């Protein structure tokens, strides 16, 4: 999937503990892709976001959304340059998480989208979907600010709505990691063989 065309930009989305990170790891290895993750907690903005998520500091809803968004904007050039070098990107969360989590807190969807409007648009968005009832017992669910069953239910409603509007590819996240991965590979191969991969489009603009 390298040749002389630009790389593919693939985003994995879903609720906390849905298995995105494992699948991002597997897919980026399979595609020899650059692995990315938002929030990127390694930048100075990412460190503030991380403290917020861990409950070490409080920040109002609009300000934290703008920080999450800025954390994506600071990666814009890296995304474009990587794709233009013919390298694929597999990304754990992107602007769709911004809309789902911030609008579940009551911020207007349009306002949330506007902050990320103009970022590079992914070629494929894969939504790992599972009922929160089946995710809440995984790992250390509850360790971070948003990991509460009722809140995640609201986040899921926004993801489900966006899945239709934005043509997400939905995969049932209640399967073995091998089953999920094989479905992700099938989607990716299909897209890579059949889609016209032209210039990088802009998100929501
Ligand atoms: P993790 O993917 O485990 O690093 O967790 C990141 C958390 O932050 C997760 O609960 C989703 C949430 N999140 C990601 N992007 C945004 C955003 O733009 N706005 C808000 N409010 N939350 C976000």
CB atoms within 10 A of CB 146: 14
Q: How far does the centroid of ligand 1 lie from the alpha carbon of residue 163, in Å?
A: 18
Note the CATH number of domain 9-194: 3.40.50.300
For the chain, the average pLDDT equals: 96
Residues with CB under 6 A from ligand 1: 16, 38-39, 53, 64-65, 68, 93, 97-98, 101-102, 146
> Which residue, 194, 138, 114, 111, is CA-closest to 15?
138
Q: Give 36's pLDDT tier (boundaries 50, 70, 90).
A: very high
Residue identifier of the C-alpha nearest atom 19 of ligand 1: 98
Task: Enter the DSSP assignment of 127.
Answer: E
Q: Check: pTM over 0.85? Answer yes or no.
A: yes
Rounded to 10 deg, the angle between the 109-116 and 61-73 helix axes is: 30
What span, in angstroms and rounded, lies between the C-alpha atoms of 161 and 167? Answer: 10
129 C-alpha vs ligand 1 centroid, how far in Å?
Answer: 16
At what angle are helices 95-104 and 61-73 packed, to 10 degrees? Answer: 180
Smallest CA separation from ligand 1 atom 14, residue = 97
4 pLDDT band (50/70/90 cuts)?
confident
Q: Whose CA is nearest to atom 16 of ligand 1?
A: 98
> 200 alpha carbon to ligand 1 midpoint, in Å?
24
């Amino acid at each position: 999937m390298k040749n002389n065309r630009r790389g593919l930009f693939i985003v994995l989305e879903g609720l906390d503990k849905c298995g995105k990170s494992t699948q991002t790891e597997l897919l980026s290895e399979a595609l020899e892709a650059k692995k990315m993750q938002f929030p990127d907690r390694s930048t100075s903005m990412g460190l503030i976001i991380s403290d917020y998520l861990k409950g070490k500091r409080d920040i109002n809803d609009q300000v934290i959304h703008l920080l999450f968004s800025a954390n994506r904007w600071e990666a814009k050039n890296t995304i474009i340059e990587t794709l233009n070098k013919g390298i694929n990107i597999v990304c754990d969360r992107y602007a769709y998480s911004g809309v789902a989590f911030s609008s579940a807190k009551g911020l207007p969807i349009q306002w949330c989208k506007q902050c990320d409007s103009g970022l590079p648009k992914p070629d494929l968005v894969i939504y790992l979907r599972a009922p929160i009832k089946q995710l809440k017992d995984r790992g250390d669910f509850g360790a971070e600010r948003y990991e509460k069953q009722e809140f995640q239910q609201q986040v899921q409603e926004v993801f489900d709505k966006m899945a239709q509007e934005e043509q997400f590819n939905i995969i049932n996240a209640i399967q073995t990691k091998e089953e999920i991965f094989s479905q992700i590979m099938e989607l990716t191969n299909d897209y890579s063989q059949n889609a016209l991969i032209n210039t990088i489009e802009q998100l929501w603009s």
